[in-house]
């Protein structure tokens, strides 16, 4: 079987190509060690589709954020917002015009961090005024971000941004929301945060470690990725295949998009499909790396 090519595209000028060779025996399905979902601003826990979102606004909640001057508030999204929808975690948010910090303890190792946003008016926080940065230890994940501009540009009324990062054994995962300085109306907000452990070799890959380094767009020098780097996940594409929804992912709630609209060359390649060839996974590339259906289609 030809080694498939997985693409992880990142806004941080990253186009990482992981070339996997798939051999050996199956190992077990991936099940995350921790799988934390915080419904920011919510005074209670809520469940949806077998999934518990933990409220952060209850007294003594493990995930109540720290803020120096106790200025962060929780508020419901304005119901008069044209795109209001009553879905967890989007209808309620935590907001502040000064910095607030969520702390996730005992999360050493590689993690997905998903930040959920529903840009809307919240009390006197106007939709257009969110401008903020989000920081994790050693990395700024987003800088001077405007959720409303992002939403208007992409037409997603609510959305999440997903990052991969590695929390060191001696680190605590503090996620800091900081309004952009210099603008008195600027505020930071978030509707939901998920912290999910991920397999060690998925993005921080030790299989492909013999390169001279990777050329990043806009940089002259080559770069080797290390666990000190954070990635933003922008797309998962199922090359030449069908859309794969999160319920059909290999345990990590990713969605895999159809790649057609991204193929811009007139030569679209040969399109092999094999629904019958056995897929043999190995210890370095376990079967949860991607769903089987992703490996069964390709462009060559
Ligand atoms: C919410 O869920 C968390 C984690 O499962 C639990 O510790 C807490 O007691 C729950 N709170 C309520 C009010 O049920
Ligand atoms: C909840 O879990 C049960 C048992 O695992 C499953 O049968 C059911 O389909 C799940 N419901 C949803 C909405 O995912
Ligand atoms: C949000 O709305 C619910 C009713 O939908 C209400 O019970 C709750 O108090 C509101 N929360 C805030 C912070 O205004
Ligand atoms: C933040 O972004 C806005 C909109 O693009 C821009 O006007 C502003 O100058 C930026 N602020 C900083 C500190 O970069
Ligand atoms: C952030 O993490 C450090 C340890 O890495 C800890 O000492 C500090 O108290 C944390 N900050 C907050 C606000 O929790
Ligand atoms: C990247 O790592 C390889 C293998 O360890 C090494 O030969 C190369 O010099 C490194 N490149 C850079 C830019 O650090
Ligand atoms: C991976 O293989 C194990 C063991 O054969 C199986 O239980 C699991 O469902 C498989 N996972 C995926 C995502 O195919």
In this structure, are residues 59 and 44 in contact, taking their beta carbons and an 8 Å threshold? no
Does the pTM exceed 0.85?
A: no
The reported pLDDT for the residue numbered 101 is 96
In this structure, are residues 244 and 294 in contact, taking their beta carbons and an 8 Å threshold? yes
CA of 195 to the centre of ligand 1 (A): 16
Question: 10-residue block means of pLDDT along the chain (300 residues)?
Answer: 31 27 40 84 85 86 82 86 80 95 91 95 95 96 97 92 93 96 96 90 62 82 85 91 88 87 83 81 82 89
Q: What distances in angstroms separate CA 199 from CA 136, 274, 289, one per listed residue?
A: 20, 27, 8
For the record, the structure tokens of 53 come out as 């979102």
| Residue showing tokens 């997903």 | 162
For the record, the structure tokens of 19 come out as 């070339």
Determine the distance from the C-alpha atom of residue 185 to the mean position of all C-alpha atoms in its chain, rounded to a whole number. 28
CA of 213 to the centre of ligand 6 (A): 5
Q: Is residue 49 in contact with ligand 2, taking CB distance under 6 Å? A: yes
The reported pLDDT for the residue numbered 167 is 93
- Enumerate the domain spans of the chain: 35-197
CA of 118 to the centre of ligand 5 (A): 27
- Domain 35-197 - what CATH class? mainly beta
The reported pLDDT for the residue numbered 285 is 78
- Reference 63, options 100, 106, 102; nearest CA is 102
The reported pLDDT for the residue numbered 82 is 73
The reported pLDDT for the residue numbered 206 is 53
Look at ligand 7, atom 9, and give the residue with the nearest C-alpha: 29
| Residue showing tokens 């840009």 | 119
Q: Could you tell me the sign of the dihedral formed by the alpha carbons of 90, 253, 5, 275, in that order?
A: negative
Rounded to whole angstroms, the Cα distance separating 133 from 142 reads 5
Rounded to whole angstroms, the Cα distance separating 120 from 182 reads 22
Beta-bridge partners for 162: 114, 233
The reported pLDDT for the residue numbered 205 is 61
DSSP element (H, E) containing 149 = helix 147-154
For residue 74, which atom of ligand 3 is closest to its CA?
13
For residue 174, which atom of ligand 5 is closest to its CA?
1
């Amino acid at each position: 079987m030809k080694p498939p090519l997985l693409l992880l595209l990142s806004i941080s000028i990253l186009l990482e190509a992981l070339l996997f060779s798939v051999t050996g025996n199956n190992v077990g399905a991936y099940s995350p060690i921790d799988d934390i979902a915080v419904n920011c601003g919510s005074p209670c826990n809520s469940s949806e589709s077998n999934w518990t979102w933990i409220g952060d606004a209850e007294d003594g909640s493990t995930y109540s954020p720290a803020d120096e001057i106790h200025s962060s508030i929780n508020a419901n999204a304005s119901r008069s917002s044209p795109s209001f929808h009553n879905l967890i975690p989007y209808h309620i948010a935590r907001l502040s015009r000064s910095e607030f910090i969520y702390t996730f303890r005992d999360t050493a190792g590689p993690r997905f961090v998903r930040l959920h946003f529903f840009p809307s008016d919240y009390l006197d926080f106007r939709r257009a005024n969110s401008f903020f940065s989000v920081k994790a230890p050693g990395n700024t994940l987003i800088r001077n971000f405007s959720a409303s501009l992002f939403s208007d540009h992409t037409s997603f009324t609510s959305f999440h941004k997903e990052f991969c990062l590695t929390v060191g054994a001696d680190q605590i995962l503090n996620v800091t929301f900081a309004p952009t300085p210099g603008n008195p109306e600027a505020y930071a907000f978030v509707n939901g945060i998920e912290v999910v452990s991920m397999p060690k070799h998925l993005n921080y890959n030790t299989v492909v470690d013999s390169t001279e380094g990777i050329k990043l767009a806009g940089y002259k020098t080559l770069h080797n990725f290390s666990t000190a780097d954070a990635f933003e996940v922008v797309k998962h594409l199922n090359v030449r295949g069908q859309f794969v929804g999160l319920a059909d992912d290999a345990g990590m709630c990713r969605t895999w998009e159809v790649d057609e609209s991204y193929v811009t060359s007139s030569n679209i390649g040969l399109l092999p499909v094999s629904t019958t060839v056995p897929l043999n996974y190995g210890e370095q590339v376990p079967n949860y790396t991607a769903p089987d259906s992703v490996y069964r289609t390709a462009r060559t």
